[in-house]
Amino acid sequence: MEYLFSKSTEALSSSVVREILKLTQGSRVLSLAGGLPAADSFPIAEMREAFDGAFHLGATALQYGLTDGYIPLRQWIAERMKQKHIHVGVDNMLVTTGSQQAVDLLSRVYLDEGDVVLVENPTYLAAIQLFHFRGIQVIPVEADEDGMDLDDLAKKIAQYKPKMAYVIPTFANPTGKVWSMERRLGLLRQCKENNILILEDDPYGEIQFDGEAPYRSIFSLDEHPTNCCVVYTSTFSKIVAPGLRTGWALGDERVIQMMVKAKQAVDLQSSTIDQIALHQLLANFDLESHIAKIRASYKERMEWMNELLLRQQWEGFSWQKPRGGMFLWATLPEHVVSADLLKIAVEEGVAFVPGEAFYAADTKTNNMRLNYTLLNHEDTELAISRLGKALERYSKVTV
């Protein structure tokens, strides 16, 4: 038997980075690479009770459910979204297996092979990978600290006639960046004028460090939510726990219902019991206090990493202190190839994600993404010190 894989699998070819990171699994390597929440942030006891509570519904908790998701959970989400100036009903909403699935489903109902998606450069690597897997052209738009450059956006729209723009405007992955209001409104206006659908991915919006009002989602800035040019997706992965694989997408009913039909063909529905248990938790849980605790804890970890990096004074090593989210994006001297550095770093016992993985084009090779949420203070200190040793060895090798 000679296996004849589909053309699209070419986009799935193993990356060097993934292969290196695989080596770190279960080893003594301290990982700043993943996007894992701190294990001590999970409400384990409450979640255990919530699962127990879910069984009070009897067989319903284990039976097939609706493809679009458990209605009380969707009602709870709709209610909470009001705090964020988003006013939608349950028919505007679909529960997904993490927000990752929302990206897949929307791409499948909205994009054909060869269609163009605009993204920030750099952006979430799994989104790039998914779009490439679907044969979609991913075109990067220039960006600075405030978000996409609106002039370059106009240029790319004129040049490529995109059908969609994929953005993470609040505490972006990998850069941690927050878009200014001007850029949010500018993207919205240009997309409306050119009939471009915006996919707003907001997994990190709740992890805000400054205690101010949350940043307005682009979805909430659209004046016509019933004929909206934004589909918004978020997840419980970062504010409750990722192992429940529960995210959601919301938008115009026609778009959402098309995603529901796609989901019916793809996996019928996400876990019934997880959705019911999550609803049980949320109904009896002070989520706001819980999120406040996560924010405080992650802020402390971020400040600690920031402090450790400041102490190092590595030459040509710079970063913007994150205002939220889970990642610190660092720039190394131009000659450093961070994927090569990673090999040495893994030998020293520390891992990170080289920046090149996050570029759809015009790849820069001298960045790294550091996660500060997973490790405790002691391990973070050790990890940064190992990173220092790796940098030292790297500079000797390449001199």
- List the interface residues with a copy of itself, window 203-222 (CB under 8 A): none
Of the candidate spans 30-38, 179-187, 204-212, 321-329, the one that interacts with a copy of itself by CB under 8 A turns out to be 30-38
Q: Which of residues 333-372 bind a copy of itself (CB under 8 A)?
A: none
Q: Residue 19, interface with a copy of itself (CB under 8 A)?
A: no
CB of 235 to a copy of itself, least distance (A): 11
HEC string for the chain: CCCCCCHHHHHHCCCHHHHHHHHCCCCCCEECCCCCCCHHHCCHHHHHHHHHHHHHHHHHHCCCCCCCCCHHHHHHHHHHHHHHCCCCCHHHEEEEEHHHHHHHHHHHHHCCCCCEEEEECCCCHHHHHHHHHCCCEEEEECEECCEECHHHHHHHHHHHCCCEEEECCECCCCCCCECCHHHHHHHHHHHHHCCCEEEEECCCCCCECCCCCCCCCHHHHCCCHHHCCEEEEEECCCCCCHHHCEEEEECCHHHHHHHHHHHHHHCCCCCHHHHHHHHHHHHCCCHHHHHHHHHHHHHHHHHHHHHHHHHHCCCCCEECCCCECCEEEEECCCCCCHHHHHHHHHHHCEECEEHHHHCCCCCCCCEEEEECCCCCHHHHHHHHHHHHHHHHHHHHHHC
Question: Which one, 252 or 348, has the nearer CB to a copy of itself?
Answer: 252
Contact predicate 242/373, CB 8 Å: no
Q: Residue 123, interface with a copy of itself (CB under 8 A)?
A: no
Question: Which one, 189 or 311, has the nearer CB to a copy of itself?
Answer: 189
Site string for a copy of itself, 256-285 (x = CB under 8 A): --x--xx-xxxxxxxxxxx-----------
Q: Residue 34, interface with a copy of itself (CB under 8 A)?
A: yes
Q: Residue 245, interface with a copy of itself (CB under 8 A)?
A: yes
Among 21, 73, 138, 197, binds a copy of itself (CB under 8 A): 197
Q: Residue 189, interface with a copy of itself (CB under 8 A)?
A: no
Among 19, 40, 315, 362, binds a copy of itself (CB under 8 A): 40
Q: Residue 22, interface with a copy of itself (CB under 8 A)?
A: no
Structure tokens at 135: 């044969």
Q: Residue 37, interface with a copy of itself (CB under 8 A)?
A: yes
CB of 333 to a copy of itself, least distance (A): 32
Q: Which of residues 83-102 bind a copy of itself (CB under 8 A)?
A: 96-98, 100-101
CB of 274 to a copy of itself, least distance (A): 5
Residues touching a copy of itself: how many (CB under 8 A)?
78
CB of 246 to a copy of itself, least distance (A): 8
Q: Which of residues 150-179 bind a copy of itself (CB under 8 A)?
A: 163
Q: Residue 129, interface with a copy of itself (CB under 8 A)?
A: yes
Q: Which amino acid is at 399?
A: V
Question: Which one, 78 or 255, has the nearer CB to a copy of itself?
Answer: 255
Question: Which one, 141 or 196, has the nearer CB to a copy of itself?
Answer: 196
Question: Which one, 31 or 380, has the nearer CB to a copy of itself?
Answer: 31
